[in-house]
Amino acid sequence: MFKHILITGGAGFVGSNLAVRLKQTFADLKVTALDNLKRRGSELALARLREHGVEFAHGDVRCAEDFDTVSGYDLLIDCSAEPSVQAGASGSPAYVLNTNLSGTIQCLEAARREHAAFLFLSTSRVYPISTLNAASFTETETRFTWSDPTGAEGITTNGVSEKASLEGARSFYGASKLAGELLLSEYVATHGMKAIINRCGILAGPWQMGKVDQGVVTLWVARHIFKKPLSYTGFGGTGKQLRDMLHVEDLFDLVCKQMAKPELWDGRVYNAGGGLANSVSLCELTKLCQTATGNTIEIGAKPETSPVDLRIYVTDSSRVSKDFGWKPQRSVPDLVEDITRWVHEHADSLAKVLG
Ligand SMILES: NC(=O)c1ccc[n+]([C@@H]2O[C@H](COP(=O)([O-])OP(=O)(O)OC[C@H]3O[C@@H](n4cnc5c(N)ncnc54)[C@H](O)[C@@H]3O)[C@@H](O)[C@H]2O)c1
């Protein structure tokens, strides 16, 4: 069992939730969160981290010296990132590349110096956009769904498995994360680093500071609560794009199961997501938000599709389920209810960030 975990991006959505839940679950564990507080709203996590006994180091993963204030950790969980697929889609990709690639290199170097294991929060966005959007699909009244055979290896109605092709462009975000994965595999091979890579689909839950380009479930719930307009953007503007959602509590359960099996930390790659059973389209999400919040808001339509948008993404998590006996336990309605409760409880501070 690990004794001290450093979580980079530890004031962000995933990082702060993992930090708090790890402290709550393992009383003797030391947890340090390092973050540059770049994401608007991450500053709101600081009081919660303190309250739960998580130490905080203000630092930037792009800067090697910022790791000097923390030592003695035996696991580094890399959650520091510019997590938007839109980053660099117009204008310079410098921040996404410098944080997600150069920053990951600094994280890897810090872990190597400490002889620490490495858990990398990668993304489904490593899979190429053109392959995913070319897979055969059907259109129902409320959603797009893949139809078998999809014509693409590793992609079925049950989702994308690790067998799917990595050939083709995938956005600066996806490319920077895939490059991080490749470098991590070199640290495993050359330095015997213990590592696991989780390629996550959409993660959601309380403490996600959702915005238009990232964090869709929080964005949708918050706009319903604060009665602000939304739009269905892309693929004709009908809101039928489909995604699977993984509750951050289910991710935490997976991380615990992975920590309990050190023999599997050989750099292997897993697709981890909510799966077809926990998939939802935007217009279906609207209905869930109306039920949870009691509000109905205006939703516009912007038919034009961004070059980095996907019609459908569903995760096939069979491999990670088999290796760790893990299955998501929380449904999409549970997720929407949890986020609704959280926004109501913190409405004053969140109105400034999410409103
Ligand atoms: N949220 C999702 O749906 C999702 C899906 C798949 C993978 N991921 C991955 O999970 C990880 C966490 O994402 P998240 O949703 O918590 O995002 P987030 O934006 O909420 O958290 C990222 C944190 O990193 C910090 N950060 C940004 N640049 C930094 C830098 N240069 N130095 C130090 N800290 C920096 C931000 O301030 C923020 O607190 C990321 O690696 C992301 O790629 C997220």
pLDDT, residue 79, reads 98
Q: What is the mean pLDDT of the chain?
A: 97
Which pLDDT band, with edges at 50, 70 and 90, does 1 fall under?
Answer: confident
Is 317 among the domain residues?
no
Which pLDDT band, with edges at 50, 70 and 90, does 350 fall under?
Answer: very high
Is 326 among the domain residues?
no
Instruction: List the Cα angle 304/307/311 in 5-degree steps.
Output: 75
Instruction: List the Cα angle 171/174/179 in 5-degree steps.
Output: 120
Is 239 among the domain residues?
no
pLDDT, residue 12, reads 98
Tell me if 213 sits within 8 A of 255, measured CB to CB: no
Question: How many domains is the chain partitioned into structurally?
Answer: 1
Higher per-residue pLDDT: 27 or 296: 296
189-194 long-range CB contacts below 8 Å, 24 or more apart? 189/267, 191/112, 193/108, 193/111, 193/112, 193/117, 193/118, 193/267, 194/117, 194/118, 194/262, 194/265, 194/266
% pLDDT > 90, the chain = 98
pLDDT, residue 326, reads 98
Is the CB of 66 inside a 6 Å radius of any atom of ligand 1? no
Q: Residue of the nearest CA to atom 41 in ligand 1?
A: 79
* Ligand 1 pocket mutation, candidates 38, 97, 219, 244, criterion most atoms within 8 A of CB: 38
* Ligand 1 pocket mutation, candidates 20, 21, 39, criterion most atoms within 8 A of CB: 39
Tokens of 107: 């994280």
For the CA of 59, the nearest atom of ligand 1: 33
* Ligand 1 pocket mutation, candidates 36, 44, 127, 199, criterion most atoms within 8 A of CB: 36
Predicted confidence (pLDDT) at residue 304 exceeds the cutoff of 90: yes
CATH of the domain at 85: 3.40.50.720
Is 335 among the domain residues?
no
pLDDT (tens digit per residue) in 15-60? 999 999 999 999 899 999 999 999 999 999 999 999 999 999 999 9
Which pLDDT band, with edges at 50, 70 and 90, does 229 fall under?
Answer: very high
pLDDT (tens digit per residue) in 104-150? 999 999 999 999 999 999 999 999 999 999 999 999 999 999 999 99
Mean pLDDT on 78-88: 95
> Which class for 193: exposed (0-12), middle (13-18), buried (19 or more C-beta within 10 A)?
buried
Residue 198 β-bridge partners:
121, 270
The C-alpha atoms of residue 25 and residue 35 are separated, in whole angstroms, by 22
Predicted confidence (pLDDT) at residue 154 exceeds the cutoff of 90: yes
Is 253 among the domain residues?
no
Is the CB of 88 inside a 6 Å radius of any atom of ligand 1? no
Is 351 among the domain residues?
no
Predicted confidence (pLDDT) at residue 355 exceeds the cutoff of 90: no
Q: For residue 333, what are the CA distances in angstroms to 35, 101, 215, 302?
A: 31, 35, 16, 26
> Which pTM was predicted?
0.98
For the CA of 61, the nearest atom of ligand 1: 32
Is 70 among the domain residues?
yes
pLDDT, residue 102, reads 97
Sign of CA dihedral 184, 190, 196, 197: positive
The C-alpha atoms of residue 80 and residue 166 are separated, in whole angstroms, by 23
pLDDT (tens digit per residue) in 184-206? 999 999 999 999 999 999 999 99
Instruction: List the Cα angle 204/196/259 in 5-degree steps.
Output: 80
Predicted confidence (pLDDT) at residue 294 exceeds the cutoff of 90: yes
Which residues, at least 6 apart from 218, have a Cβ–Cβ distance to it below 8 Å? 204, 208, 209, 210, 339, 343, 354
The C-alpha atoms of residue 125 and residue 174 are separated, in whole angstroms, by 5
| Domain around 190 | 1-127+170-200
pLDDT, residue 158, reads 97
Is 251 among the domain residues?
no
